[in-house]
Structure 1
Amino acid sequence: MKLSEDIARVLNASRVFLWVLLLLVLPGIYLASGFYSVGPEQRGVLYRFGRMLDDRVLPGMHYRLPWPIERVERLATTAVRSIELDLSEGAGERLQGELTSGDLGLAAVALVLQYTIEGPGDFQTRVLEPESLLRQLTRAEAIQYVAGQRIDTLLTTGRNRLQSSPRQTLQAQVRVLRLGINVTSVQIKRLEPAEPVKRAFDEVAAARAEKQKLIQMERGERSSRLARARGDANQTLQRAQAYASERLEQARGDYAHFTTTWREYRRSPDIMGRRLYLETLETVLGRARVTVASPSRVQPPESSSPRHP
């Protein structure tokens, strides 16, 4: 009995303290649970009784009314998310896995879609599963694009357009649907012809590569030959210009010499005429070849008249 009386006496003495604990401390703890933080790469979405109040809560410390009145969901809006989409999967046994091109060719296509969240509120509230809807939109856009291309164009020059054109169309569609998504890129993970014709397409691609290689080699050879031809033409032109300058200077010198001689000849024609005559003989005889022969060793030419007996 003594122990029970001691316990009852302690409870009676601490009754006031317990009431203070229940009325002050516990509500304080409940109210303090409303403090929360948002990370640097996150945005918060604030709800009150399930209704969205704010979808762009910035990073830092904030306060909300404690649960269940208000709640906050945090989304990484700067992180790039990826969706891998293999269009040949899920086709079933009765459906072909490859996509049909505009000229009835078959192509196996697998894409990687990358996106970010630009509207956290729309991403959380507009659609129940936004990634699933985005996957379906990407599949539909890829099928439509492949159906409008020839198979050889799709596998060669159309690869880049497969990455750019669907991205722009998808971005326009998600903005109309207000999914809160920003499509950053559509990348090709796999784009190849169907397995039965893959070898033929590989040979065609190798032939085209060899063709481009030969074209580049011939273009290089043509460029080198053109460079050599231009160099030879410049050298010939320079030699011709030098020869023309030399002949022109020589002509000018001859003209000056002739003019001076003519003036001297007009002043004293006898003296100048004899001088020119002697200079001409000197020039001609300087190139002449003189042969001296003895008269006794010279035979007279035979007569062409007939001999009489």
Structure 2
Amino acid sequence: MSDKLENSIKELMKNRQGGRKDISSIPPPPDDAGTRALGEALDSSFKIVKLIIVGLVIAFIYSLTFSVQPDEIAVKLRFGKPVGVGEEQILKPGLHWALPYPIEEVVRISVGQSRTVLSTGGWYPIDPEDEKLGKLPPALNYLRPLADGYVISADGNVMHARATMKYRLNPNMALNYEFDFTDPTNLLQNILNNSIFYAAAHHTAEDAIYKDQIAFNESVRQRVALLIQEYKVGVTVESIDVQTSPPLSVRDSYDQVLSAQQEARTAVNQAESYARTTINAAQGQASTILADGVTRSNQIVRVMASEAKSFSEQLPYYEKNPELFKERLMAETMQTILTNSDDTFYIPPRDGVERELRIQLNREQMKSQREKDKAKSAAEGASTQTSTRRR
């Protein structure tokens, strides 16, 4: 069968070399089961190869794509150099593509993560576990070289200072942080150390430790911001926590001074509060007294004016008949005095005869006796009326 197939193929090649001929003149290959099986096998193989090729193409295209997460940015390096110019180099969150390595390489940079860096130059060595428990290392009267960190203040005193900085990468300048420096974390640590030494050189130990810590901390922050901007590090500072401490050998003395100053401030605040309260109360009392005085003064003026008017009106009557005026005034006065009296006693003149006048001062007993007398009189009157009716 293979010889027949080979002869048919040779005959077909001859026909092609000799020019176009009627293909119907070529005898068809023998139709048998082997030929059909071979054709089906070739068709299946070609289909499988096509599927494999399509899969490889899809896999290749998929391998060229990558996604950038919301909390990161990315940059494509083509033969080690960033692709694009300026902000075009930064790939924002989303779907992007890149040629396979080693032609292009994708570098991802996390910008949503908060990072921390600690200063190392101005603090005494302490075990982290002891620090959590509040335990301090033993106090010595000297500083150990290469072990005890310290700073020198503006007034020439030795003290300890350290800072903890939290920062994030600036998405627009993250490439500076990633590619412009060999060790950006070490650079930020040196910036923090430099800022502490700089601030200490511009403040006294007293101010830095307890008297004006806010100004010292602000000096550190301003120096850090200046150096980060100058070196174009590409980070955004979130917070800087600054701590200061006197040397351990004199820490107790400083604590006593702080305690005394705190007590003094408390006493001063209490005194000022008491003074304000007392002054406010005195001012309120003074205002009340003044208001009462003005009211009383106005009242007296009105009374005096009324009395003056009354006297002025009575003057013609007095001038006309003084005795009659006196008697009338006496009668009016007595009437006014006796208006609310329960009992009135008229005592005639003694006419030269010595007399003794006794007055019962127990008013309640007199009222009780008077009420009894009234009740008795009422009862007698009722009984008299009853007997009269019987008759």
Give TM-score scaled by structure 2 length: 0.62
Q: Which runs of 5+ in 1 are unaligned?
A: 1-8, 296-309
Q: Is the 8 A contact 1:163 1:185 kept in 2?
A: no
Mean alpha-carbon deviation: is it higher for 273-282 or for 124-133? 273-282
Find the counterpart in structure 2 of residue 260 from structure 1. 313
Cα deviation per residue 1:69-119 (whole Å; 9 max; x = unaligned)?
222222221322111223236997268521111122221112101111111
Partner of 2:224: 170
Which digits, 9 at most, give the CA deviation of each residue in 1:202-249, with x for residues without a partner? 111011101011011111211221232123212322321222022111
Aligned to 2:129: none
Partner of 2:215: 161
1:145 has 2:199 as partner: yes
Q: Which residue of 2 aligns with 1:112?
A: 164
Q: How big is the shift at 1:276?
A: 4.5
Change (3 A) 1:274 1:69: same
Q: For 2:183 and 2:164, how far apart are their aligned partners in 1? A: 18
* 1:40-91 deviations in Å (ceiling 9; x for gaps): 1111122211111244211122211222222222222132211122323699
**Contact 2:72–2:110 (CA<8 Å) still a contact in 1?**
yes
Q: Which amino acid aligns with 2:320?
A: D
The Cα shift of 1:20 comes to 5.4
Residue 240, structure 1, aligned to residue 274, structure 2 = no
Q: Which residue of structure 2 lines up, in the alignment, with residue 134 of structure 1? A: 188
Change (3 A) 1:55 1:254: same
Whether contact under 8 Å (1:40, 1:59) holds in the other structure is yes
Q: Following TM superposition, by how much is the alpha carbon of 1:259 offset from its aligned partner in structure 2, in angstroms?
A: 2.6
SS in 2 for 1:128: coil
Matched, 1:216 2:269: yes
Q: Deviations over 1:144-175 (max 9, x none)?
A: 11022111111124322333222222222222
3-state SS of paired residue (2:112)? coil
Q: Matches of 1:101 and 1:26 in 2, distance apart?
A: 69
Q: 2:104 aligns with which of 70, 87, 96?
A: 70
**Higher mean C-alpha displacement, 92-101 vs 192-201:** 92-101
Q: Does the 8 Å CA contact 1:107/1:192 hold for their aligned counterparts?
A: yes
| Deviation, structure 1 residue 178 | 1.8
> Using the alignment, how far apart are the partners of 2:224 and 2:233 within structure 1?
11
1:174 and 1:181 in contact (8 A); partners too: yes
Distance in structure 1 (CA, Å) of the matches to 2:146 and 2:97: 56
Contact between 2:124 and 2:150, CA under 8 Å: does it hold in 1?
no
Two-structure CA RMSD over aligned residues (Å): 3.3
Aligned to 1:298: none
After the TM superposition, list the runs of 4 or more consecutive aligned residues in structure 1 that deviate by more than 4 angstroms.
Answer: 12-25, 89-92, 276-283, 290-295
Q: Would the aligned equivalents of 2:167 and 2:237 in 1 still touch at CA under 8 Å?
A: yes
Match of 1:33 among 38, 45, 63: 63
Q: Distance in 2 between matches of 1:92 and 1:209?
A: 33
Q: 1:249 aligns with which of 289, 297, 302?
A: 302
Change (3 A) 1:55 1:156: farther
Query: Residue 196 of structure 1: which of 249, 252, 256 is its match?
Result: 249
Is 1:100 paired with 2:152?
Answer: yes
**Contact 2:165/2:239 (<8 A) preserved:** yes
How many Å separate the matches in 2 of 1:97 and 1:114? 22
Cα distance in 1 between the residues matched to 2:144 and 2:50: 68
Structure 2 distance, partners of 1:89, 1:36, is: 48
Q: Distance in 1 between matches of 2:351 and 2:65?
A: 137
- Relative to structure 1, is the Cα distance of residues 275 and 80 closer, same or farther in structure 2, using a 3 angstrom cutoff? farther
Residue identity in the other structure for 1:121: L
AA aligned opposite 2:257: V
User: Is structure 2 residue 231 aligned with structure 1 residue 185?
Assistant: no
Higher RCO (C-alpha under 8 Å, 6+ residues apart): 1
Q: Percent same amino acid among aligned pairs?
A: 18
Q: Secondary structure at the match of 1:168?
A: helix
Is residue 57 from structure 1 mapped to residue 91 from structure 2 by the alignment?
Answer: yes
Distance between the aligned counterparts of 2:351 and 2:295, measured in 1? 45
Residue 57 of structure 1: SS of its match in structure 2? coil
41-50 or 254-263, larger mean C-alpha shift: 254-263
Distance (Å, rounded) in 1 between the aligned partners of 2:209 and 2:166: 22
Cα deviation, 1:111-157, whole Å, max 9, x if unaligned, reads 10111111121111211111111111111111011022111111124
Q: Which residue of 1 aligns with 2:362?
A: none
Q: Which runs of 5+ in 2 are unaligned?
A: 1-37, 126-142, 338-348, 355-391
